[in-house]
């Protein structure tokens, strides 16, 4: 009877130990699966959010440029400096759900064709490089961590976006009109303002170079010397930007003394 009891006890220990070990194996496997799922989920979130941050950086570059174009006319005699001044930077450190991130972006005028990846979050009218348009190259660096730890994710994204204005063509046309106007005014030997303005109107009417540019002039006499100030200007309206439509002015000016 005693042997039976011992045998039953040993059998019970073996059965329960086996059950415990089997459960531990399943438990460990489930935990590994959970860890892998959580890691994968966090990586997906980081990847998607980095794309949103890169898109927002491109959007911000367009909005900032649109604001400068609207408020600051371009002097065609210094168009390159004007285009260089459109560049900007943006630094953001924040968190979204459990993703902690830092984002640094910089953008500037892209004069030469570049073919980086396109932005899925911007419509085609702003996305990519378009020959002759105002193209901006946007470089965005994103560093993300999940709740300050792993998994971490980092990308360096380069995108090109554009606004539908033609700064180089407008600068060339402006300089040509200005040169044409100067040549015409050199032949005017009067300091009478009304005579000069009439001649300017005649030049503008007969020369196709002016295109959409309006020309103007004024005269002044100081210490017996006649000075003629002249200018050309044009304003494009209804340009489509990311923050609605806007207008942009291009001008050029010069003076003659005799």
In this complex, which beta carbon is closest to another protein, that of residue 94 or of residue 147?
94
What is the per-residue binding string for another protein in 122-161, x denoting contact by CB under 8 A?
Answer: xx--x-----------------------------------
Burial of 217 (0-12, 13-18, 19+ CB in 10 A): buried
CB neighbour burial string for 16-34, b if at least 16 within 10 angstroms, e if fewer? eeeeeeeeeeeeeeeeeee
Q: Which of residues 38-77 bind another protein (CB under 8 A)?
A: 38, 40-41, 44-45, 48-49, 51-53, 55-56, 59-60, 63
Separation of alpha carbons 253 and 218, rounded Å: 11
Cβ atoms within 10 Å of 150's Cβ, excluding its own: 11
- Is position 14 an interface residue for another protein (rule: CB under 8 A)? no
Backbone angles phi, psi at 104, to 5 degrees: -125, 125
Among 2, 208, 224, 238, binds another protein (CB under 8 A): 2
Query: How many amino acids of this chain bind another protein (CB under 8 A)?
Result: 49
Among 80, 172, 243, 258, binds another protein (CB under 8 A): 243
CA angle 185, 190, 194 (to 5 degrees): 85
In this complex, which beta carbon is closest to another protein, that of residue 93 or of residue 206?
93
- Is position 5 an interface residue for another protein (rule: CB under 8 A)? yes
- Is position 24 an interface residue for another protein (rule: CB under 8 A)? yes
CB proximity list for 31: less than 8 A, separation 6 or greater: none
- Is position 23 an interface residue for another protein (rule: CB under 8 A)? yes
Nearest residue to 250 (alpha-carbon basis) of 171, 169, 141, 133: 171
The stretch among 35-43, 80-88, 130-138, 142-150 that binds another protein (CB under 8 A) is 35-43
In this complex, which beta carbon is closest to another protein, that of residue 74 or of residue 163?
163
Among 114, 120, 150, 158, binds another protein (CB under 8 A): 120
- Is position 244 an interface residue for another protein (rule: CB under 8 A)? yes
Q: How far is the CB of 44 from another protein (least distance, A)?
A: 6
- Is position 192 an interface residue for another protein (rule: CB under 8 A)? no
Burial of 50 (0-12, 13-18, 19+ CB in 10 A): buried
- Is position 30 an interface residue for another protein (rule: CB under 8 A)? yes
Separation of alpha carbons 105 and 63, rounded Å: 14
Q: How far is the CB of 166 from another protein (least distance, A)?
A: 21
CB neighbour burial string for 177-204, b if at least 16 within 10 angstroms, e if fewer? bbebbeebbeebeeeeeeebeebbeebb
In this complex, which beta carbon is closest to another protein, that of residue 17 or of residue 190?
17
């Amino acid at each position: 009877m005693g042997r039976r009891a011992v045998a039953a006890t040993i059998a019970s220990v073996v059965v329960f130990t086996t059950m415990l070990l089997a459960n531990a194996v399943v438990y460990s496997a489930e935990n590994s699966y959970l860890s892998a799922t959580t890691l994968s989920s966090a990586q997906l979130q980081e990847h998607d959010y980095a794309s949103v941050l890169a898109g927002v950086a491109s959007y911000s570059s367009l909005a900032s440029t649109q604001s400068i174009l609207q408020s600051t006319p371009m002097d065609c005699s210094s168009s390159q400096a004007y285009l260089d001044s459109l560049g900007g930077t943006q630094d953001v450190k924040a968190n979204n759900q459990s993703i902690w991130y830092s984002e640094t972006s910089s953008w500037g005028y892209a004069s030469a064709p570049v073919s980086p990846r396109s932005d899925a979050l911007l419509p085609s009218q702003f996305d990519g490089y378009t020959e002759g348009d105002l193209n901006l190259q946007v470089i965005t660096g994103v560093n993300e961590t999940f709740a300050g730890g792993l998994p971490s994710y980092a990308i360096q994204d380069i995108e090109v976006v554009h606004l539908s204005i033609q700064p180089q063509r407008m600068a060339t046309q402006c300089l040509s009109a200005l040169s044409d106007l100067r040549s015409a005014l050199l032949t005017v030997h009067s300091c009478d303002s009304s005579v000069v303005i009439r001649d300017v109107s005649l030049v503008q009417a007969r020369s196709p170079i002016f295109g959409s540019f309006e020309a103007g002039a004024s005269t002044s006499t100081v210490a017996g010397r006649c000075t003629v100030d002249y200018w050309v200007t044009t304003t494009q309206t209804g340009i489509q930007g990311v923050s609605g439509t806007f207008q942009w002015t291009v001008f050029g000016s010069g003076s003659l003394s005799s």
